[in-house]
Amino acid sequence: MDNFEPVIVAFCCHYCAYTAADMAGSQRLSYPPNVKVIRVPCSGKVDAMHVVKAFEKGADGVYVAGCLEGDCHFKNGNTKAARMVAYVRRYMDEIGIEPDRLEMVMMSAGMGYRFAQVATEITDKIRRMGPSPIHAAIETGKAA
Amino acid sequence: MITAERKPLEELIEYIRPYRRILLVGCNECVTVCAAGGRKEVGMLASGLQMALLKAGTSIEVREHTLERQCDPEYVEELVPLLDGVDAVMSMACGCGVQEVARRFKNKPVYPALNTKFMGASERQGVWAERCMGCGNCLLGETGGICPIARCAKQLMNGPCGGSTSGHCEIGDEVDCAWALIWERLKELGQQDRYVEITPAKDWRAGKGAGPRKIIREDLAE
């Protein structure tokens, strides 16, 4: 795949990262269009199934963005999300997808700059890693 | 409940490698509660298998279905219309469910996706511990509600043994000594006299000692 542009899915908590994305916009901070933001009511509401399905559909990277530790609007959704991410990373290893394609990040609603920075860093990392083996296999199947 | 854990993906892939289309069947009972084989786990495994095979340059169609209960023939019958064109069935139930599906559909290979572990209870969210071994002659009434068969590594009828230290079993500090628990509980109940009584050797024929068991309720049996 020449000129590879990764597809990255970001599950963003309404109370922090999603608002931080808005903040980034207000501050005129740009972040890569590769990142497809999905707003969720709490990062703890993101199920392992959603993450696995994203990879199955061809996402090259996924991250779950929740509130800073101790700041979850629903008490501990962000720590639950972090445990879910750790669990799915082990499952990805079993499947044969590099676990580093999945990350848990934390930020507050005011961190517009951090949102843009995280989006840029993760996009750069996934771009260096190349397409996910599933994305590559889907593309090969289409070409055949 | 009966507890179980998913087998490693690699082992499951070896089972299904020869097939083009499989039916993955979950169970809404015990294995749903212990997060091993319910609807969600069926979805996770179906995706995992498909991705692992896609990565290996091949593909498989995985049909998903979760039964209300896989150990009852009435529910297993629901699978009939789903089996058309299916090469094999993979069951995410406990061993009872796997065998019930295999008994009903004799012309389809049936594979277990789980390793069935034990009859247990939930200690806290995400943690299950063994509580019963189905010995067929319950003695919890004598032991303060704590089972020395399931929870003592040696299944002692009169414990504890010399390996009990500060309430822990010698097999590992994370394992409570069942007899230490029994003693504490009997003290709380004011039933220490029960502890003094010597329990005779157990008749294991009520358990697995006399081979596979069956219960027949004559008023219900047809």
Reply yes or no on whether the pLDDT at A98 is more than 90: yes
State residue A144's pLDDT score.
64
Q: Do A94 and B50 touch (CB under 8 A)?
A: no
In B, which residues are within 8 Å of A56 by CB distance? Answer: 47, 50-51
Whether residue A143 has pLDDT greater than 90: no
R_g of chain B, CA atoms, integer Å: 22
Which of B164, B157, B170, B159 minimizes the C-alpha distance to B199? B157
Distance CA B137, CA A97 (A): 49
How many CB atoms neighbour CB A140 within 10 A? 12
The pLDDT assigned to A2 comes to 62
Assign domain A8-143 to its CATH architecture.
3-Layer(aba) Sandwich (3.40)
pLDDT 10s digits, A71-87? 999 999 999 999 999 99
User: B55, A91: Cβ pair inside 8 Å?
Assistant: no
Do the beta carbons of residue B3 and residue B34 sit within 8 Å? Answer: yes
Listed as ranges, residues in chain B with pLDDT below 70 are none
DSSP run (H or E) holding B130: strand B127-132
Beta-carbon separation of B51 and A48 below 8 A = no
The ipTM, to two decimals, is: 0.93
Burial code of B15-43, b = ≥16 C-beta within 10 A, e = fewer?
A: bbeebeebbbbbbbbbbbebbbbbbebbb
pLDDT for the residue B7: 98
Q: What residues in A contact B51, CB-CB < 8 Å?
A: 55-56, 95-97, 134
Cβ neighbors of A104 (< 8 A, separation 6 or more) are: A43, A63, A64, A66, A81, A82, A85, A86
Map out the domains of chain B with their CATH numbers.
2-118 (3.40.50.2300), 133-210 (no CATH)
Per-residue pLDDT band for A1 (boundaries 50, 70, 90) equals: low
User: Stretch A121-140: mean pLDDT, rounded?
Assistant: 96
Chain A residue numbers touching B43 (CB-CB < 8 A): 49, 52
Which of B51, B55, B64, B127 should be substituted to probe chain A, the one whose Cβ sees the most A Cβ atoms within 10 Å? B51
Which pLDDT value is given to residue A140?
Answer: 87
